[in-house]
Homo-oligomer: A and B are copies of this chain.
Amino acid sequence: MNINASIIGASGYTGLELINILSLHPNVTLKYLVSRSNSGKKVADLYPSLYALGNKEFSHPSVEEIAKQSDVVFLALPHGESASFAGKLYDLGVKVIDLSADFRYDSLELYENTYGITHPRKDLNDKAVYGLCEIYRNNIKKARLVANPGCYTTCSILPLYPLLKEGIIKSNSIIIDAKSGISGAGRKAKTDYIFCETSENFKAYSLTNHRHTSEIEEKLSIAANRPITLSFSPHLLPIKRGILCTIYAALSNINADIETIYNDFYKNEPFVKILPETLLPEIKNVAGSNDIQIGFIKDKRLNRLIIVSCLDNLIKGASGQAAQNMNIMFGMEETAALKFSARYI
């Protein structure tokens, strides 16, 4: 099998990762790398790490042209802007993997409240499948429009989903203390992200009001079959890649066998690694890979469960998961082009 893939918004960091992954994929030909601001520039001039692409250029063709030449289009565009492109491509019959938040929500109202935007393609929201591969695989197989989850979201939902489904977590006890590398902010020329302002620093931001909170709550409420509210507290780590979430939850049953619940739920999952109790994951063990690692520890003294989950925000939290979704949508081997190990160093 061979398919043609294009990327709209190809010149940012998620674009770069998608290019990295797709150019090694045995069944994929990279077609259009769309970037308005870099149109006409060689990809290898912007990212000299990609010199193997030779003279391949960023371009800016019409949506129709992109649709005509592509079997699948990845959208790495800002929220709001993405839905319009996704809609047009969908209408033209191409499969779409949207890395923005535009089709992530079951509730359009929640989306609009969270992002302060009137959704431009409300009609398509029901067609979209939430692309959290391990949970929605069966729907993704048949989907023509996949909404790729957020990075924090993936790192939060995967460790909590099985436990909430199992009903062993007390209502409203969940706190997610999340720490992310700076690539989560993309390739923005902002003083806040220059080296001298970020290195040797650490800070919290968007406490109580980060947008991923509502996305996490919506999906976990489905898992729990009751409304879940929680604290989500992001922090900025002085590293390039990786997210680590330290998750606190009160157990309704302190004797629940967490390890078995996890292993049953995630058995055979190639990208989910459950660690034995008390062993904890670290960012270097997942950065550069499509893996999520999950560790946990019960604090019997306080009847509290502490979970630590880790992934690479640009891979499992964005472009890797997007490629995994593509693999599922096209019936290709799910791990194709995604088998590389984490960096460690």
Contacts and interface: CB of A to CB of B under 8 A. Distances in A.
A239 B201 contact: yes
B191 A189 contact: yes
Interface string A201-214: 11111011000000
Contact of A246 (B177, B188, B238): B177
A302 B232 CA distance: 11
A345 B188 CA distance: 14
Tell me the number of copies of this protein: 4
Nearest to A281: B48
A175 B51 CA distance: 28
A282 B188 CA distance: 20
Contact of A49 (B179, B183, B246, B343): B343
> Which residue of A183, A194, A197, A207 has the most chain B CB atoms within 10 A of its CB atom?
A194
Contacts of A187: 191, 194, 196-197
A196 B339 contact: no
A182 B200 contact: no
Nearest to A243: B202
A287 B49 CA distance: 9
Give the contact-size bracket for chain A.
35 or more
Interface string A35-65: 0000000000001111110000000000000
A304 interface: yes
Interface in A251-294: 273, 275, 280-289, 291, 293
A168 interface: no
A114 interface: no
A244 interface: yes
Contacts of A208: 297, 299, 301, 306
Question: Across chains A and B, which 4 residue pairs bring their CB atoms closest together, nearest first?
Answer: A49-B342, A203-B282, A49-B344, A48-B285
